[in-house]
Amino acid sequence: MDTDLDKELKDKRNKASRFRQHVNPLSRKYQEPQVSSTDTSWVSTNFSDPTLPLHLDIGCAKGTFCLELATQNPSSLNVLGLEIRSPVVDYALGRRDKRGLRNCHFLACNANVDVGAVIEGVVENGGRVKTVSVQFPDPHFKKGQKKRRVVTPDFVRVLGDKLTSDKVGDEHIWLQSDVKDVLDDMRDAFREDERFIEMGEGGYWDNNWTGVPTEREISVFNKEEGGEVWRSLFKIK
């Protein structure tokens, strides 16, 4: 007979399985800004101390990584996850509320459209973005779909503009993928912007720099045939 915990876990799996896995970020629906550049009250509303350094996770999915990172740093770090699929964000927010976290939040938006406004909102409320992660983004394998990938030259440019305007010197960008071509593509985009310095002498990182694995990361390493993850770390000049 299933226990209450078994039923709860099954319910979570059933809800998660209903989420659409892939969307086209270039469609008109996702090109409309979702984060106001003038009303930044969402920051103070959702973070008990908006002045804490913030980790920004791009494409956070169901929020497992963000929730764990926030749980491990309750009084020293705010964590914000951006996810393009609104139902997934609602699910992540529900998980956050069950944990009672006041240093974690999730926004439904297209990072390529709204990341600038997001960072501005954090800064206007007395905080700063200390770290940014892009972990296991949708690879968009099909021919002609690479332009849908989240890390583009424009995305890197906006990050560079916003992060360098308020830099302290410890700002980092953390990249991970289980598809080598995707990681290399992201890495090349950051290499081409002179405001970012690649750490580790140009090689791949063996271990997770954050110390907190994502759901995808755990899944890759749990495969019977084994799996690989490619990683790279950049720092603001």
Which residues are part of the catalytic machinery?
138
**Spatial CB neighbours of 213, under 8 Å, sequence gap ≥ 6:** 65
Q: Is the dihedral of CA 180, 17, 56, 24 positive or negative?
A: positive
Counting other chains too, the contacts that 191-196 makes at CB distance below 8 Å and 24 or more residues apart are 192/153, 192/156, 193/153, 193/156, 193/157, 193/160, 194/237, 195/160, 195/164, 195/236, 195/237, 196/156, 196/160, 196/234, 196/235, 196/236, 196/237
DSSP state of 194: T
